[in-house]
Amino acid sequence: MILRSLKEDIVKDVSGDGALEKPGRSLMQSAMLRLMRNKAAVVSLFVLAALILIALFGPYVIPFNYEDPDWAAFRAPPSLESGHYFGTDQNGRDLLARTLYGTRISLAVAFVATLVSVMIGVTYGAVSGYLGGRVDQAMMRFVDIMYALPYILFVILLMVIFGRNVYLLFAAIGALEWLTMARIVRGQTLSLKEREFIEAARATGLGPAAIIFRHIVPNLSGPVVIYAALTIPEIVVTESFLSYLGFGVQEPLTSLGTLISDGSDVFEVLPWLLWFPASFLILLLLSLLFIGDGLRDAFDTKDHKS
């Protein structure tokens, strides 16, 4: 996928070795200061925060529920007088309420699935890189086999076998999105495990598990943060695509992908059913991508000198 290739290109040069740290300032603090100087990333942060707040609290403010029809307003166009600011769908349901609720579901799937994929990928990659040898080779061959499988097809297969519900969607996408993270973390771990502070940790008698989770994983903050930021928009696209095909979120729940699928079927007659959900999705993806790009620049120790 294009986004997956973009992620690999963006994170491969991030060392996370703390070379930019000023006295008394951590790498994370320095990176956040640089991020705040990136105008596009800052604006995107505000846009993303606004979308999250609107998605969380908007449905409680507007007078219509996302699943209850307005019997007097079937297929109503956007109107300030009727209170249906985004219009209604074929069943008389308020499109603004459904768009806000769909944004909430899409964000929930993206954030939870990203958390799952990062936890699996960081653990798997750090263990593989630190242990090395045959264990590393066997673990990486498994990753190669998983990469060879058609990603979307595999997710669809899981949804068909185990049933289609939003909780399984979290697990199915998250359980297959960790592969690139495992490769990135493994590569960073191979270089970190030869550093002096790791040798000192071994000399004190710490076991492999303690060294991995106390010393190696905390020093991988740069690549992990960047990868997580770039994984979220990819998962949003994946969820939207699955919902568009009918394998994602099911009625009475909705997501941006479901709304776009419904709107595309009647675009010539009811164009607003596609315009508004698609606009929310585009705005969400652009803000996430600009934030990811800003994080890449902030953590890129090769382009900044202290």
Give all domains of the chain, ordered by start, each with its CATH number.
2-299 (1.10.3720.10)
104-128 mean pLDDT: 87
Sign of CA dihedral 217, 223, 229, 235: negative
pTM of the model: 0.75
d(CA 225, CA 204): 30
pLDDT over 90 (residue 46) = yes
Average pLDDT, the chain: 79
pLDDT at 43: 92
Of 298 and 131, the one with more pLDDT:
131
138-147 mean pLDDT: 88
Share of the chain above pLDDT 70, in %: 85
Most confident range (mean pLDDT) of 17-21, 87-91, 94-98 is 94-98
DSSP 24: T
Residue written as tokens 């320095």?
Answer: 30
Residue 293: how many CB atoms within 10 A of its CB? 19
d(CA 235, CA 279): 17
pLDDT over 70 (residue 132) = yes
Torsion angle defined by CA atoms of residues 22, 40, 296 and 143, in that order, rounded to the nearest 10 degrees: 150
Of 65-69, 116-120, 152-156, 294-298, minimum mean pLDDT range: 152-156
Q: What is the pLDDT of residues 184-208, one digit of tens each?
A: 889 889 888 888 888 888 888 888 8
